[in-house]
Structure 1
Amino acid sequence: MASVPVPRLTPPPRTMLRDTVYESIKQMLMDHDLAPGARLSIDGIARQLQVSPTPVREAMTKLESDGLVAKRPHAGYVVASLLDEASLANLYEMRVLLEPPAAGLAAMRATDEQIAEMRALVVTMTAHPAGENYEQYRDFAVRDAQLHRLIAEASGNPLIADALSRLHAHTHSYRLYFKVGIAEETTQEHQQIVEAIAAHNSEAAPEAMFRHLSASNERLQAVYAQE
């Protein structure tokens, strides 16, 4: 399989080189500049970014753990496939099994510090709405994932938090489609979840999380209908 040229990349600054290379390639993948299944040449990307192959290899390892690239025998790294409808449904079924109960436990166990951090994240998401590409959307997406991770950690059950982190749910969801105008609706749903946790309402918190996940799934499933 022939290597696909890497578009729209500029050399990163020398400081924090590894993280910059990772973010440069991740932006390209999230913005669909390369099609699923396209081969990624480490040497080619290194030339485009004017860096050595070493930080590119390190970035690929991290991107593989994120589920954004896959390593194929005799082919090196390729762009991972997007979730199909069935895979997306499976992902949300798993989230529904884990996250509403985690929210209920968080309502009983979250500390004042954790609640304050949740509220602060919701405020920053309101102040920095999503944009039209991943670079503009990144801060919102990161805070969204941080909030769900913090709720899972506040449940007091490290197995739940670990299981959710392994799903890479937000990476898959935003890569699938992040321009469906979800920022305002998502933030409102997050506020309802956090306030239920802050009120230590172990019934309202899982219900709010379930409503949020259901609405999020519907928004993303609508993408398939549009296409």
Structure 2
Amino acid sequence: MARTPAVSIDNRPSTRATDLYDQLRADLINGQLEPGSKLVIDALAGRYATSATPLREALNRLISDGLVEKRELRGFVVAEVSEQDLVEITKTRCWLEEIALRESIARRDRAWEEEVVIAHHRLARTPRSLSQEHFEDNPDWEPAHRAFHRALISGCGSRWLLAFCDQLADQHHRYRTLSAPQAFTAKRDVKSEHQQIMEAAVEGRADEAVGLLRGHIERTASIVRADSPLFIQGR
């Protein structure tokens, strides 16, 4: 991630903390930092080439996102994963995205429809895995996937609702990433699921679109929950 030269307003601690927040958040969501592992300040400072002060600021911000926990005697740790947590995240995400999708469909216009169709087209043309024989993560797939799901609810007219939906989608993404190989081998036509959701949404069939979206999210959670090694050792 390119940054401006040293003599710059970007070197202020608050801005550096924002950069660190973005980097740490991405690594936490993408499973680069092991759930339950201790976040040692000195080690992280070396990893992210920073000092302790902006690092602590960034970690405290991540606590409110539910990605980091602060425990007595242990300091900062990566938030644990659990089956119960996944169930709660899934249920809440379905509730909120149903509201957002219904509102988006009720307020739909040509611009929103085009955004949804274009986002779906880009996703449909992006393979999930770089290999047909085994799972090899395609770094272009997740951004396209998130863009499609975000486009579906983007017309709801509430930035607060979108922010809550984004936070829950991040949490869901974290679980999906930790269980990606399991999800890849599951017998499921994800492309068809996305296609059906897109068509129902742009054609204004709100009840059908909501039902399809809910089933899509719940199906993903069921596959992750079947990946029992994800929840062993107290995770």
The answer for the alignment partner of 2:118 in structure 1 is 120
TM-score normalised by the chain length of structure 1: 0.72
Letter of the 1:177 partner, please give it: S
The answer for the alignment partner of 2:36 in structure 1 is 37
The answer for the alignment partner of 1:111 in structure 2 is 109
- The structure-2 alpha-carbon separation of the partners of 1:139 and 1:166, relative to structure 1 and needing over 3 Å to count, comes to same
Query: Conserved in 2, the CA contact under 8 Å of 1:141 and 1:170?
Result: no
Indicate the RMSD between aligned Cα atoms, in angstroms. 3.5
Deviates more, 1:112-121 or 1:102-111: 102-111
Q: Give the CA deviation at 1:81.
A: 0.2
- The structure-2 alpha-carbon separation of the partners of 1:138 and 1:77, relative to structure 1 and needing over 3 Å to count, comes to farther
1:81 and 2:80 equivalent? yes
Letter of the 2:198 partner, please give it: V
Q: Secondary structure at the match of 2:180?
A: coil
Letter of the 1:142 partner, please give it: P
Provide, for residues 100-120 of structure 1, a one-character-per-residue CA deviation record: whole Å limited to 9, x for no partner: 343233222122212212222
Q: Give the CA deviation at 1:199.
A: 0.9
The answer for the alignment partner of 1:95 in structure 2 is 93
Query: Conserved in 2, the CA contact under 8 Å of 1:189 and 1:212?
Result: yes
CA distance in 2, matches of 1:216, 1:137: 18
Q: Secondary structure at the match of 2:42?
A: helix
- The structure-2 alpha-carbon separation of the partners of 1:31 and 1:127, relative to structure 1 and needing over 3 Å to count, comes to same
Q: Give the CA deviation at 1:78.
A: 0.8
**Counterpart pick for 2:226 among 210, 214, 222:** 222
The answer for the alignment partner of 1:171 in structure 2 is 173
Query: Conserved in 2, the CA contact under 8 Å of 1:102 and 1:152?
Result: yes
Letter of the 1:117 partner, please give it: E
Gaps of 5+ in 1: 1-11
Q: Give the CA deviation at 1:97.
A: 2.4
% identical aligned pairs: 27
Counting matched residue pairs gives 212
The residue correspondences of 1:4-43 to structure 2 (distance < 5 A) are 15=4, 21=20, 25-26=24-25, 28-30=27-29, 32=31, 34-43=33-42
Query: Conserved in 1, the CA contact under 8 Å of 2:94 and 2:214?
Result: yes
Q: Give the CA deviation at 1:46.
A: 1.7
Query: Conserved in 2, the CA contact under 8 Å of 1:13 and 1:20?
Result: no
Provide, for residues 134-157 of structure 1, a one-character-per-residue CA deviation record: whole Å limited to 9, x for no partner: x94554323333333333332335
The answer for the alignment partner of 2:133 in structure 1 is none
Letter of the 1:218 partner, please give it: S
Q: Secondary structure at the match of 2:70?
A: strand
The answer for the alignment partner of 1:46 in structure 2 is 45
- The structure-2 alpha-carbon separation of the partners of 1:27 and 1:149, relative to structure 1 and needing over 3 Å to count, comes to closer
